[in-house]
Amino acid sequence: MLENPSYPAPKFRMDPSITDFYHFTPESFHLEGYQWAPFDEKIPVAI
């Protein structure tokens, strides 16, 4: 995971037409320029 290339940070965008906090929906948010790297590692997790 540490050997993957680093990318510029994405821009977090919110719908500017929403003026009431309670009117936000998941579609009101968007990450612009997000780039991902493949992740094929298994990480042990205690349950």
One digit per residue, pLDDT tens: the chain, 47 residues? 677 888 899 999 999 999 999 999 999 999 999 998 888 888 899 98
Output the six-digit token pair for 18: 């929403």
Dihedral sign, CA of 10, 15, 16, 19? Answer: negative
CA-CA-CA-CA torsion sign (32, 28, 26, 47): positive
Q: Where are the domains of the chain?
A: 1-47
pLDDT of residue 4: 80
Strand positions, DSSP E, 1-47: 11-14, 29-32
Q: What pTM value is reported for the model? A: 0.58
| pLDDT on residue 40 | 80
